[in-house]
Amino acid sequence: MTGDWHPLMTELDLWRRDGLSLPLWWRDDDAVCVTPQLERLEALSASLELPVHLAIIPRDADEDLVTHVEGSPALIPVVHGWAHQNHAPTNEKKSEFRLHRPFQDIRNDARAGLTRLQSLFPDKLCPMFVPPWNRIASEMVQELPGLGYRILSTATPRKAKMAAPGLMQVNTHLDPIDWRGSRGLAPRDKLIAQATDLLRDRREGPADNTEPFGILTHHLVHDEEIWSFTQDLLTRFLNGPATVWTAPKNDKSRRPE
């Protein structure tokens, strides 16, 4: 089953008619080691010529992953929190960087994440902070630039270009996984409609089309349907008005406090 792609293809035709360009980027979360799924992600990225911003959990990243990522032009390492550990009470949504523990502990974990990945990827790391579960306290957002981060990435269209002074917001917008249901692929037609609506908002003006349009994946839990849909979706974007966006690499002159 492939789904009805006509709504999205019609919207992409309107982008071409109007001479519009869609900045496109790809983020994949939860990497800690080299796996067959990571190698498949890398191969797909290379075939599409669309790099993957690989959100690596700093505490648990192993040396084989470092060697693999360093040798791969398809993979751009970014910081995925510290330990991907939930500190929220059971009656709240999971989070690692909301105010459920002493603020200094939260700040220290964010700093430790950047410090460790800077040491592992001194020439390749992008200073992007990806909070686990896409959740972070506003008070912590204000701290990130002082720690050395230059980009914050969560989910849904951003409300402003800058999350804080010196900190750009670059979010993800479409996740193909049905996290609250089957944990497989969400209904295809629903995903296609969601993508179409997001692009229409950008074309007509309510949404900020200068924000790179982000596809979010989680390679470790993909089944064949998720892999297939992701490839089909990205191929259609790249055959249409999309241009590839990649985040800047680490600024060696700016180290965390």
SS (H, E, C) 96-113: CECCCCCHHHHHHHHHHH
Domains and CATH numbers, the chain: 6-243 (3.20.20.370)
Contact assessment for residue 96 and residue 44, using Cβ atoms and an 8 Å cutoff: no
pLDDT digits (tens, 9 = 90+) for 218-250: 999 999 999 999 999 999 999 999 999 999 876
∠ Cα 209 215 219 (to 5°): 165
Q: How far apart are CA 224 and CA 226, in angstroms?
A: 5
Contact assessment for residue 247 and residue 51, using Cβ atoms and an 8 Å cutoff: no
pLDDT digits (tens, 9 = 90+) for 177-214: 999 999 999 999 999 999 999 999 999 988 999 999 99
- The two three-digit tokens of residue 97, written as one number: 């960087």
Total-model pTM: 0.95
